Structure 1
Amino acid sequence: MKITGLTTRLLKIDAAPRFRDGVVPPGRPSHWHFPLIVLHTDEGLDGYSMAYGPHGDGAALTEVLHESFWPLLRGADPSCSEALWQQLWTRQRHLYNQTDSLVGVIDVAVWDLRGKRANQSIASLLGQYTDYRRAYLTSRDETGSAEDIAREAAAAREAGYHGYKVQLRAGPASDIPRLRAARTGAGDGFRLMHDPNASYSLTEALAVGRELDALDFHWYEEPLPEAQLDHYRHLVETLRTPVVGGETVRLSDLPNFMTRRALTIARGDVLIKGGITGLRKAMAACELFGYNLEIHTANTPLLDVANLHVACASANTNMLEVHHPVFRFGLIQHPFDVGPDGCVRLPPGTGLGVELDWNWIDHHTTQIRKTP
């Protein structure tokens, strides 16, 4: 099987439903453009993936895919996904003004093709461990009041989720009362997590972390900028709440967090860690070092499905993140529509295993780029 073509569709998504009261904050795009990636082959099989698009960079990502990466894809055999990934990774090293995410986007489509050709799911190709993972819900955004947070936490528990993650980054004075409200709303014995998106200083992180200890939070995610490994180690040594780190670092930098004991739980996803191939490498490294890696949402439908396949082929992960429904678009049925048991399950098909909703996709496509 050989790759013969690359088609990218820009999908226009209304951003307003993502935010409270349907109001897009100043300075943010009113619409997102998610690039839908299609790899064509000489056997008539197509592999699908999608790039993240909420930052106004969808069109630029499309150009990079076609101009920088297509020469490596032309004529490549998707069955040799490791060899292709190594070539893409080497190319990416010299694209200093970009991140590793496009390697991940391409890699997901390659694995989709591998699964379809083998008539197996990606999880099966990876050596499936389970067919489901427990799900936790992430708060809608960082602007919610204490009352909003308490209601969301209570609703998450009532809906059957196995946890609720709060994302707050206004500082201890504003965040701590809302974290207390989350515990009040959820009640005792329900997993709560906090993710301030690397916004705290060490002093702030310690103050909030001690409160999380008192509130019996399940984990404390990326409280500090990722470069501050010594501060991360201090948090790990000082707090009882597990510290989650490494989400946004390059795949090759993740071992530094483990060798320096700068995390309790690792973080990653197929977008940031270089696709299914890269995330599997991260999972394996963590397992050998004795760490769990909890997979972060990519907020991109096909990438989150890819995350699910890796999660179901890995022993050292426990839950998957579910975010706002606005990120579940373009599929006939999304496996992240959580059931009463609070779990997400592998879809039944081959490759990624999901069916694209082409009527919806055609209606939301604003631009198509084909190569050759």
Structure 2
Amino acid sequence: FVGIGEGGVHGWQRPTKTMIEVMSDYLVGKDPNLIEHHYQWLYRSSHFMGSVVQGALSAIDIALWDMKGKRLGVPIYDLMGGKTRDRVRCYMHVGGDTGEELAEDALRAKQQGFTAVRFTPFPNDYYLHKSYTEWADEAVERVGMVKDAVGSDVDICVEIHRQMNPAESIWLGRRLEQFNPFFYEDPMLPDSPARMAEVQAQCNIPIATGERFTTIFEYQQLLENGACAYVRPDLCLCGGLSGCKKVAAMAEAQHVKVIPHNPLSPVSTAACVQLDACIPNFALQEYTGESEPPKSVLLVEPLELIDGYLTVPEGPGLGIELNEDTLARIGEDPKVLDTPIGFDGSVQDR
């Protein structure tokens, strides 16, 4: 049996590949059933941890669960408590250089059957703004145009991408309350849960965050501070299916729901669906669209998407089969260092 996994350190493909290769020396010849044991052995084998280590471990964890499901002839969710839903509600990424283009793209997603859309309220050159007022006014206008376009039938999800400091995001959040966003994502850098809790307390909008976190311990701090309404674990970064199932359980104890982060390939999507299918506190699934190459040709049979919902597959393991011919032809998408520089010449957050 062959297990499929994916590691996601968002652009740092080569270090993650190297880490998997280093870990493979330990894994060859071991019992693939001992998923948690192998994670603990590899995670605790060095003084130093971090995103590259966790990205590699996540890929291994997903692959071992896929292998186990195939060996036993059952979906992964059957091995993690059983199915809690038949379909997974998705939100679709939308975008546009102008407010009009953004609203048109959101309307297209609605016409395709999606009942939630996610977008940034800022233009691509957000980092060149000359005043906070100019920046925030444009954001409010763009969000309003999307809301007018999709109406109350579609939830809007606003993504700040950590591009504001707490004071800025609080004031913008208050202005966005009128549009009733489903969530307000990453309104500041995630490295201070206490400060994030202040943003949550002063904005009457649910905050979603956590996509950069690599361990359950970071989520513990986030939840203890009451800093969000939704957690966003990345299955390809935060310990795979095993790690993110733990995050979901921690969140459940705080009445917090789960919106898995998923900017990668259909393998990541398939892993997310397995998690979504077996947790009671699932809210929404990130979906970037898989109808265009290379995503559309990576799997022999794509996951079924109907009216903005992914059908939970019944096949063993992840329920997918890689198209080996396509995989062999896909080249590396190399990391490009393009950190934005602001109007005053200073480094800006992305």
Scaled by the length of structure 1, the TM-score of the pair is 0.79
Question: Residue in 1 aligned with 2:302?
Answer: 334
Question: Residue in 2 aligned with 1:207?
Answer: 171
How far apart, CA to CA, are the structure 2 residues paired with 1:198 and 1:365? 30
1:93–1:137 CA distance, 2 compared to 1 (3 A): farther
- Which has more strand, going by share of residues? 1
Per-residue deviation, 1:227: 1.4
Question: Residue in 2 aligned with 1:238?
Answer: 202
CA contact (8 A) 1:133 1:311 kept: yes
Per-residue deviation, 1:229: 2.3
Mapping of 1:248-259 within 5 angstroms?
248-251=212-215, 252-259=217-224
Question: Residue in 2 aligned with 1:283?
Answer: 248
CA contact (8 A) 2:6 2:236 kept: no
Deviations 1:77-100 (A, max 9, x none): 121111112112223662458352
Q: 2:32 aligns with which of 67, 75, 78?
A: 78
Question: Residue in 2 aligned with 1:133?
Answer: 88
CA contact (8 A) 1:49 1:302 kept: yes
Per-residue deviation, 1:203: 2.4
Per-residue deviation, 1:302: 0.9
**Corresponding position: 1:66 with 2:21:** yes
The one-letter code sitting in structure 2 at the alignment partner of 1:339 is I
How far apart, CA to CA, are the structure 1 residues paired with 2:203 and 2:18? 45
How far apart, CA to CA, are the structure 1 residues paired with 2:256 and 2:49? 31
Question: Residue in 1 aligned with 2:132?
Answer: none
**Corresponding position: 1:162 with 2:115:** yes
The one-letter code sitting in structure 2 at the alignment partner of 1:248 is R
**RMSD between aligned residues:** 2.0
Deviations 1:280-326 (A, max 9, x none): 11011111222112111142221221111001000101221111435
How far apart, CA to CA, are the structure 1 residues paired with 2:232 and 2:53? 17
CA contact (8 A) 1:269 1:295 kept: yes
Deviations 1:83-118 (A, max 9, x none): 112112223662458352111011110001110111
Question: Residue in 2 aligned with 1:150?
Answer: 103
1:328–1:146 CA distance, 2 compared to 1 (3 A): same
1:360–1:250 CA distance, 2 compared to 1 (3 A): closer
- What stretches of structure 1 of length at least 5 have no aligned partner? 1-44, 367-372
**Corresponding position: 1:274 with 2:239:** yes
Mapping of 1:1-372 within 5 angstroms?
45-52=1-8, 55=11, 57-67=12-22, 69-91=23-45, 94-95=48-49, 98-127=52-81, 128-140=83-95, 144-169=97-122, 170=126, 171-251=135-215, 252-325=217-290, 326=292, 327-335=295-303, 338-340=305-307, 342-364=308-330
Per-residue deviation, 1:154: 1.1
Residue identity (%): 20
Scaled by the length of structure 2, the TM-score of the pair is 0.84
